[in-house]
Amino acid sequence: MLSYRLRHRIEIQEKVESGRNPDTGGQIYSWQTLVISGTAMGSVPAEVLTGPGRESRAAGAVQAETDARINLRWFPGLNQAMRILWDGRIYDIDGMATDRTGRQEWRLTCKEGVSDG
């Protein structure tokens, strides 16, 4: 991995249960910065490569979507249920791959838009 490519700073968040809705009894979830071994993942060096956007029409509304590939140093505990914040945008993790050794870098394929993050 070439460290000079890691010029962006991302935040990795995980979904946590924050209580129950008093009216329906359903779970209420919120997003918080991931903490691994006492280290908050709020300013992680990464390479963010965005692709072309596209629009779709569903239920009479136009929805925009953008793809991105995010490369960052490998660390244990990352999974697809998490999300990435970068430059005021929210990216859902669609796919995860590692390098050949499996211990140097994460290569994430992500999508912005359409979902609730």
pLDDT tens for the 117 residues of the chain, in order: 678 899 999 999 999 998 888 888 889 999 999 999 899 999 999 999 998 766 666 666 767 788 999 999 999 899 999 999 999 999 999 999 998 887 899 999 999 876 655
Question: Which pLDDT does position 73 carry in this prediction?
Answer: 93
Question: Which pLDDT does position 64 carry in this prediction?
Answer: 76
This prediction's pTM:
0.83
What is the rounded CA–CA span in Å between residue 45 and residue 72?
A: 7
Return the CATH number of 3-112, one of 1.20.210.10, 3.10.450.50, 2.40.10.370, 3.30.1490.20: 2.40.10.370
- Cβ-defined contacts of 23-32 (< 8 Å, 24+): 31/83, 31/117
DSSP-assigned letters across all residues of 45-93: EEEEEEEEEEEEEETTEEEEEEEEEEEEE--TT--TT-EEEETTEEEEE
